[in-house]
Amino acid sequence: MTITTVLFDLDGVIRHFDPDAVAEIERRHGIDPGTIESFAFAAPLLQEVTTGKLRRTEWVDRIAEHLGNPAAAEEWSRQPYRVDAEVVAIADQLRAAGLRTAILTNGTDTIPAEAEQMRLHDHFEAVFNSAEIGHAKPDARAFHAVLDDLDVGPHEVFFTDDSPGKLVGATYLGIRTHHYEGITGLRRALAGLGILTRSA
């Protein structure tokens, strides 16, 4: 079946944070390297915030309590980021070719505001957020929600994520997947499916 929809992960594919920024925050606050994210991204806390059981503010409060340093937690939560113009350009090329583009992210309750700030809806038909869906990747139910909302079958969809583990649920459903490691590989994968020319 022909691919009609290209689904992108957000963080690590479209939006990028500077890993050195976290190290700098920890250094300035006298926190052991890796402490913040080893707690913030550990189970079950991460699962709770990305499935809507906790609000982002509550998540940051938990991190502050763990660190004993509210200022460091707040600073970590406001890290600068950049939007990858090359990935966005691919989304625009796909839309110009008649395909649908969307995002599925394991996010928090603030994703709608963040999407607005990044103007994602100028380039993607929809931004699906695990905190709103109630299930996070790689849970197949997260992908089911996207398929149902877009009214497409799994074999019509191509999904790319920078975390191989997040692809599992999509693959299980029959969605074609790509482990994102850079723009060149993504272009190659899309060209291999005949939905983007290599030189685009």
pLDDT digits (tens, 9 = 90+) for 82-131: 999 999 999 999 999 999 999 999 999 999 999 999 999 999 999 999 99
pLDDT digits (tens, 9 = 90+) for 60-78: 999 999 999 999 999 999 9
What is the residue type of 92?
A: D
The structure's pTM equals 0.95
pLDDT digits (tens, 9 = 90+) for 129-187: 999 999 999 999 999 999 999 999 999 999 999 999 999 999 999 999 999 999 999 99
**What is the per-residue DSSP string for 44-63?**
THHHHHHTTSS-HHHHHHHH
Strands 176-179 and 5-8: unpaired
The per-residue pLDDT for 200 is: 46
Q: Average pLDDT in the 189-200 region?
A: 79
> Alpha-carbon distance 51 to 136, whole Å?
6
Residue 76's Cα: distance from chain center in Å?
18
- Is the confidence at residue 199, as pLDDT, over 60? no
Strands 126-129 and 15-17: unpaired
Eight-state DSSP code of residue 16: E
Eight-state DSSP code of residue 121: G
Q: Average pLDDT in the 15-36 region?
A: 96
Q: Which two tokens stand for residue 15?
A: 């939006």
Element at 119 (helix H, strand E): none
Cis peptide before 154 (omega within 30 of 0): no
Higher pLDDT, 200 or 55: 55
The per-residue pLDDT for 19 is: 84
> Alpha-carbon distance 7 to 83, whole Å?
16
Residue among 153, 106, 158 nearest 133 (CA) = 106
Asked whether 171 and 179 are in contact (CB, 8 A), the reply is no
The per-residue pLDDT for 170 is: 98
